[in-house]
Structure 1
């Protein structure tokens, strides 16, 4: 693994994100105004074997907006990268799927989430998980080092979405897959510009239309970029969860 990743952005919206997700990591019982935890994951279509096998602590700080595992299989021996791994729920599932011959690597901008992801990996005895604090638009990973890149509700939080997709493309092997769930813009209130509707941290102000994601994916080189469908997750009247996948040529 390269260690040349860029520093985490300390702009005001990133600091707001870090504050909110620190609270989610350390005080998951707070009502944040949006769904989280195991029952939310069940509603989004997570496999019952993971819901039943993983202890409650693994789920408590999870704010999934869809299920990226329903978009393609993760096989034993593969390397999986999770952009915005949060407390590590998806990272742990990916590690169980790729097995000890594989590797699951997570990145998040919030130190408290990275620490919790490491703790959750320890709880499950998953020594092939690595979690790091890093900006998604400058990953400390070698070119063509991953088989699958996943993400769940995190790319909308980045102001540099095209750079995030370019990094995902760079680190994927030829034929590798990007499969992710994210919040997208379903409508724009007539009285406010899209970037002023709600906070970035609540997965509203940073959302874009699904078509914008498809265009970005195509522009950085992905093929077969597609909007697979929508979840019923929402963070505001103007947002909805969506599921995407694409393949590196």
Structure 2
């Protein structure tokens, strides 16, 4: 895929998520909703592994229900750590991470959509999060110095990248030796039908850009990661099927927990 094609895909994703930020939309998939309150986003998040306490702990407007899992559940965050969130959206996972690492820790959210970054920054001010910052940038080219991050988290975003190998190479660069990945994302479990793979809304809706776990594992290993673990969740069929009702996407994709370590 050419650099021009990469940029075209990124622009489509940027426009889709800019619209979600502007309109307070929620949920993954092409059939995005626009709730009148946060109840729909909260229900979506509860369905993918967040507790009621977690969904209630963040500022209003931070949870857009855009994930496909809960990276906090596998990150094992510790007080004082520096956390980087790839594709931080309105800040939901960043704010939860900030609670885990405490005032001695630091959380950096990176998102390529200006409206999302603005929304997240406003939410940080609203919630009084002094240890969280949001930076505008692409996850393939992170605005983060070398070897400065302890943990990288991400929630249903890497599937949207047209250059996943570069995402993992730059994540490796940003991590300190011994640092770790804790990611929730979509993986292919079967070959997507051509009409699904070629539909723009299916790409921006976290379906058509997914690749198989074996391919992700190879990309991560090539970047230098070790102790790679990718576990697809059979229970995800119910909610990923709701992203495109009647299209049967649950037969081809699943949410997965993705973990890896940068060697010491």
Hey, what does 2:259 align to over in structure 1? Answer: 245
Matches within 5 A, 1:141-152: 141-152=144-155
Hey, what does 2:109 align to over in structure 1? Answer: 106
Hey, what does 1:5 align to over in structure 2? Answer: none
Identify the range of structure 1 (80-89 vs 208-217) with the bigger mean alpha-carbon deviation: 208-217
User: Given the two structures, how large is their TM-score scaled by the length of structure 1?
Assistant: 0.88
Q: CA deviation at 1:218?
A: 1.2
Task: Work out whether 1:18 is the aligned partner of 2:8.
Answer: no
Task: Work out whether 1:196 is the aligned partner of 2:210.
Answer: no
Q: CA deviation at 1:194?
A: 7.3
Q: Secondary structure of 1:87's partner? A: coil
Cα-to-partner distance string for 1:66-97 (whole Å, 9 max, x where unaligned) = 11011131111110000000111001111111
* Number of residue pairs the alignment of both structures matches: 239
Hey, what does 1:121 align to over in structure 2? Answer: 124
C-alpha separation in 2, matches of 1:71 and 1:111: 29
Hey, what does 2:31 align to over in structure 1? Answer: 33
Q: CA deviation at 1:47?
A: 3.1
Consecutive unaligned residues of structure 1, counting only runs of 5 or more, are 1-8
Hey, what does 1:4 align to over in structure 2? Answer: none
Q: CA deviation at 1:45?
A: 1.4
Contact in 2 for aligned 1:198/1:204 (Cα 8 Å): no
C-alpha separation in 1, matches of 2:231 and 2:6: 33
C-alpha separation in 2, matches of 1:33 and 1:45: 21
User: Given the two structures, how large is their TM-score scaled by the length of structure 2?
Assistant: 0.83
Task: Work out whether 1:221 is the aligned partner of 2:224.
Answer: yes
CA-based RMSD of the aligned residues comes to 2.2
Contact in 2 for aligned 1:62/1:86 (Cα 8 Å): no
Which structure shows the higher helix fraction?
2
